Structure 1
Amino acid sequence: MEFDHERLLNWPIPEVRQRYTQRDTLLYALGVGLGSEPLDPDQLRFVYEAGRKTLPSYPVVLGYPGFWMKDPGTGIDWVRLVHGEQGIVIHRLPPPEGEVIGRTRITSIIDKGAGKGMLVYTERTLTDAHTGALLATLPSTTFCRGNGGFGGPAGPVPPVHALPERAPDQSIALPTLPQQALIYRLSGDYNPLHADPQVARAAGFGRPILHGLCTLGVACHALLKAAGYAAERIASVQVRFTAPVYPGDVLSTDIWQDGEVWSFRTRVAARDALVLGNGRAVVRPA
């Protein structure tokens, strides 16, 4: 099927109504590594029902419309796509349990040229299913390597956030478990790339890799730790995915604090690999 830019731009992505429980919230927190220090009262608030706290990164797994880009009608070469960027804007932290409605739309499609791929920008809003209150806005960029050269617009492309040139103000190292991907996938992303060694090898990896959104969750944990575990201080997060992470890697997040704007990047020091780049967070004053 010939690629149709207008058809994709107006693709009807299904609305999702999702009920989640406190168990789901706790499982997500465990999936991104909270509880690695089980006697730490700050971490315990997110993984023990007595705390009833929700992580600022939790909205990424709520109201997800599924892998709609795999539909042949989209014209997307889904085998060659990668998750390029992810943002989270928190309007109101979701409660530990509730029901949400996720509405996803394509905001723009950028043609990088023949053989260079295309960028698909989407935005998902999460609202409380009962009150209608806007909880979060989730902008995302997908890099479709197998598409491009269809004569579509070449811009505008939002500029990436530049990190400060000075040394980081602090660096927070957080471990991941060898079974981290197997825990995280229970929050809804069952892509076998993260569980099945044969699928991972076929995709060019020596073993299953960690979900990109799990890596983002670990980085958000680092930001949260730097903010004194006050979840309500995290207003927004935006980051680029730059390299894969393997379960068991130790993730070091470098943070630069300039007022309410915190810049960050996440590295695997043991491999000298930058895995999240050009990070920008807005953190409210304590």
Structure 2
Amino acid sequence: MGILNVTPDSFSDGGRFLSRDAALARAGQMIADGADMIDIGGESTRPGAPPVPLDEELERVVPIVEALRAVQVPLSVDTYKPAVMRAVLVAGADMINDIWGFRQDGAIDAVKDSQCGLCVMHMLGEPRTMQLHEPVYDDVVAAVRDFFAARLSAFERAGVAGNRISLDPGYGFGKTLGHNYTLLAELAATQPAATYHPLLAGMSRKSMLGGVTGRGAGERLPASLAAAVCAAERGAAIIRVHDVAETVDALKVWQATRDATRSGHH
């Protein structure tokens, strides 16, 4: 899943793809580089980010979705606002990726009657404040798993088919460095018992990588590739990244290794 930020202030590429032409060119490049999906975001959710007014988010995102409808890969929109969800579904979005896990009033209603995919993310607190205070969990893996189970129940009560839903532990969203790596190491254990939902891992360029390498956001490509391979190894079905071509290469090597082990020595 290639990240297309149409925001002036995202932490790693804010402002670069704001114009429609630049955004379309960027999406085309990611698809050429091997992206299977594009995730379009019109509001930065980096720690400390200010909320974006509804009309501004619609202005940023809807024209991009409309312009990209013709491409041959699914389009995801990263939003938590029910009005944006409704508008982008009309515009042709295939998936809604919600950092709030569809907890805002009206969010489930906005998506339940469509057939779009849904990505439920775990977040402690809210983007503006989530990293101001040290996040505390008794057991971070159990907390994320319980949150997923509760959201899955809410969708089930609303009559939403389970096969539409994927789950994202929300790396960096109200977690310490230790929490993030525990959630990576035990990614498969965030899946609620007796269910299967594709797991999405989004660690590309995040501070959890800087915390280990000491590098700034622009220098985290090798760390991002390592994180992508670690996530794939632990069962992630969707890897959300800025650097598509490089990640595709890294995952091809991981996949070839995995396939060679399974097929034995022929």
TM-score (norm 2): 0.27
The structure where strand makes up a greater share of residues is 1
Larger radius of gyration: 1
TM-score (norm 1): 0.26
The structure where helix makes up a greater share of residues is 2
- RCO (CA 8 Å, sep 6+): is it higher in 1 or 2? 1
